[in-house]
A and B are shown apart, each in its own frame.
Chain A
C-alpha cells in the first residue's frame, strides 16, 4: 500500500504544452504539499494545502496551479511549460494538528521539457 502516490513517474513534453501531475495520499492527512527538486538537487517547497485550502504559495510562476478536489488529492497543473520547469516534483502529506509529526513524500515525478 503506497502512502503517497504520484502519477506519472516520468513525463517528457514539449515547450508550450500544458500538463498535470496527480498526487493521492491514503494516510488520512489533512495537509498536502508540492516540492520541486531542481538539477542542483535543491528541494524547495512550492505549495501547501490544508483541507483543500491554499496555505503556502512560495514564489512560483502563476503558470503553476495546484488543485485539491478533496483532502486526499493534490494535483499540480502547469501551463505553457518552459525548459526551466524540468525538475523532479515531489508531493508530500502530513497532519496539521499534531506537533512533531513527520511528512511522507511520494516517489516523485521527473518532468523533462524539451
Chain B
C-alpha cells in the first residue's frame, strides 16, 4: 500500500471547518483513500473513503485532487468532540480473506479549540 504524509498536528476553532490534508503521491490506480480517527483512549473509528470522486457522508467530506496525489478531509463544523488523531490510509480495496489490513501512520492530531 502507498505511503501517506500528514502534518503532525493542527488546531481548529470550534464551529469552523477543519481541513486535514494528506499527501499520497505514490498512490496507484486501484488504491483507495481511507480516513479513520482515534479519539483519546478509544479504538479507531472509520470516517470516510474514496477513489477518485469527492465523497460526503454524515461525518465528513473527502476531496481528492484530480491527479489523486493528495486529498483533504473536511469536518464542516468542528466540535470539541472531534479532537482526535486523524489517519489517512491508502490501500488496495479488494475482497478476500485478510484483505482489510490497515497500515496506520502517525496521523494528524487535531485539536478543536473553544
A contact residues vs B (CB 8 Å cutoff):
4, 31, 33, 41-45, 48, 50-51, 53, 55-56, 90, 92, 94, 96-108
Q: Is B77 an interface residue (CB 8 A)?
A: no
Give the secondary structure class of B's interface. loop
- Chain A: which residue is nearest B97 at the CB level? A50
Chain A to chain B contacts (Cβ below 8 Å), 16 pairs: A31-B98, A43-B38, A44-B104, A45-B103, A50-B98, A53-B97, A55-B98, A56-B98, A56-B101, A96-B98, A98-B95, A100-B93, A102-B49, A105-B44, A107-B43, A108-B43
Flag if B98 contacts A100 (CB, 8 Å): no
- Chain A: which residue is nearest B107 at the CB level? A41
- Of residues 66 to 108 in B, which have CB atoms within 8 Å of A's CB atoms? 85, 87, 93-104, 106
Q: Write the nearest CB–CB distance from A71 to chain B, whole angstroms.
A: 12
- Chain B: which residue is nearest A104 at the CB level? B46
What are the residues of chain A within 8 A of B87 when measuring CB–CB? 43
Q: Write the nearest CB–CB distance from B26 to chain A, whole angstroms.
A: 20
Number of B interface residues, CB 8 Å? 24
**Further pairs besides A45-B103, A55-B97, A97-B95: 13, Cβ < 8 Å:** A31-B98, A33-B101, A42-B104, A43-B87, A43-B102, A48-B100, A48-B101, A55-B98, A96-B97, A97-B96, A100-B49, A103-B44, A105-B45
B contact residues vs A (CB 8 Å cutoff):
32, 38, 41-46, 49, 85, 87, 93-104, 106
Q: What separation, in Å, do the CA atoms of A41 and B42 have in the docked complex? A: 12
Flag if B43 contacts A4 (CB, 8 Å): yes
Q: Answer whether A48 and B43 are a contact pair too, CB < 8 Å, given A42-B106, A100-B49, A100-B93.
A: no
Q: Answer whether A96 and B100 are a contact pair too, CB < 8 Å, given A41-B85, A42-B106.
A: yes
Flag if A96 contacts B106 (CB, 8 Å): no
Q: What separation, in Å, do the CA atoms of A13 and B44 have in the docked complex? A: 25
Q: Write the nearest CB–CB distance from A58 to chain B, whole angstroms.
A: 9
Flag if A45 contacts B102 (CB, 8 Å): yes
Q: Write the nearest CB–CB distance from B65 to chain A, whole angstroms.
A: 20
Q: What separation, in Å, do the CA atoms of A45 and B104 have in the docked complex? A: 9
